[in-house]
């Protein structure tokens, strides 16, 4: 059974009578342990597709299954529960709380999980170690470099031990060398078995993935 099974997904925006088919009939299945990149031009529908696959957004039509469970018909409450426990997100702009320490940023998703609070600190410290930032534990995130911020964001995405990590342009705000370090980190995580889906329009970065999916005008090509 695939980890993610999407059949005939559509996302149609209606802005003032004009319809935009952002996702225009996409079927896709993702196996546990895969490392996939989604590439395509600006506006081709990459983020929209990723937000649907990651349960941040719902499709206009189509069927989406996660670990065999149909999620396309669930209420926002139930989706949030699944999202918090099974999915990790990394964004281009890091999305950390600026005046909050690295460790507390990483602990945040645990507060919305069913993981007992007695485990939060230990889990977060393990994640800091994994991204090699133990010495920055008590620094506020606005005291960190871009690459360090993104490593905290990745640690935060991993702390609930999700089934899959989605990253939307995770190197978009980083210089090329720092970007390569982040890509290397994703590669290491995938070697350890984590399923990773990265959206990028950088073809070089995309090559690191084991499978590259190209999207154009809302369809896979
Ligand atoms: N909330 C929205 N309302 C209306 N149209 C939208 C909305 N979000 C996205 N779109 C449109 O859907 C299409 C796909 O957008 P999307 O953000 O998925 O592209 P993208 O491939 O991620 O682009 P980029 O590389 O620039 O991030 C675009 O034409 C965009 O304008
Ligand atoms: Mg995008």
3-state secondary structure 117-152: HHHHHHHHHHHHHHCCCHHHCCCEHHHCCHHHHHHH
Contact 72, 63 (CB under 8 A): yes
Q: Does 203 reside within a domain? A: yes
Per-residue confidence (pLDDT) for residue 205, from 0 to 100? 78
Name the β-bridge partners of 13: 20
111: pLDDT confidence band, cut at 50, 70 and 90? Answer: very high
CATH number where 117 lies: 3.40.50.300
Give a yes or no: residue 215 inside a domain.
yes
Is 26 part of a structural domain of the chain?
no
Which of 10, 13, 59, 92 for a ligand 1 pocket mutation test, highest count of atoms within 8 Å of Cβ? 13
66 falls within a domain: no
Q: Find out whether the beta carbon of 1 lies less than 6 Å from any atom of ligand 1.
A: no
Residue 203: pLDDT above 80?
no
**Banded model confidence at residue 207, pLDDT cuts 50, 70, 90:** confident
| 211 located within any domain | yes
Quick one: 6 exposed, middle or buried, by C-beta within 10 A (0-12, 13-18, 19+)?
buried
Cα–Cα distance measured from residue 71 to residue 81, given in angstroms and rounded to the nearest whole number: 11
Q: Is the pLDDT of residue 204 over 80?
A: no
Q: Is position 24 within any domain?
A: no
Of the listed ligands, the closest to the CA of 48 is 1
Instruction: List pLDDT tens digits, range 44-96.
Output: 999 999 999 999 999 999 999 999 999 988 999 999 999 999 999 999 999 99
Give the range of the structural domain holding residue 39, as residue numbers without chain letter.
34-56+75-220
Whether 181 maps to a domain, the answer reads yes
> Is 138:102 a contact under the CB 8 Å cutoff?
yes
d(CA 47, CA 106): 24
Q: How many domains does the chain have?
A: 1
Using a pLDDT cut of 90, give the percent of the chain over it.
Answer: 92
Average pLDDT, the chain: 95
Q: Whose CA is nearest to atom 6 of ligand 1?
A: 13
Identify the pLDDT of residue 206. Answer: 87
- Position 70 in a domain: no
């Amino acid at each position: 059974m695939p980890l993610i099974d999407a059949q005939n997904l559509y996302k149609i925006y209606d802005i003032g009578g004009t319809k935009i088919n952002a996702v225009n009939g996409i079927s896709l299945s993702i196996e546990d342990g895969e490392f996939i990149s989604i590439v395509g031009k600006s506006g081709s529908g990459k983020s929209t597709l990723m937000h649907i696959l990651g349960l941040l957004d719902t499709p206009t039509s189509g069927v989406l299954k996660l670990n065999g469970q149909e999620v396309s018909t669930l209420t926002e409450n139930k989706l949030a529960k699944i999202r918090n426990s099974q999915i990790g997100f990394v964004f281009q702009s890091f999305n950390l709380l600026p005046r909050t320490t690295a460790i507390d940023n990483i602990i945040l998703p645990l507060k919305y999980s069913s993981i007992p609070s007695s485990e939060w600190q230990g889990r977060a410290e393990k994640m800091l170690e994994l991204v090699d930032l133990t010495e920055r534990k008590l620094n506020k995130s606005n005291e960190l470099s871009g690459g360090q911020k993104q490593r905290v964001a990745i640690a935060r995405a991993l702390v609930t031990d999700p089934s899959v990590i989605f990253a939307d342009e995770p190197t978009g705000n980083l210089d090329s060398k720092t970007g390569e370090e982040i890509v290397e980190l994703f590669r290491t995580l995938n070697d350890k078995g984590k399923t990773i889906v990265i959206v990028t329009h950088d073809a070089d970065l995309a090559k690191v993935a084991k499978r590259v999916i190209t999207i154009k005008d809302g369809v896979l090509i």
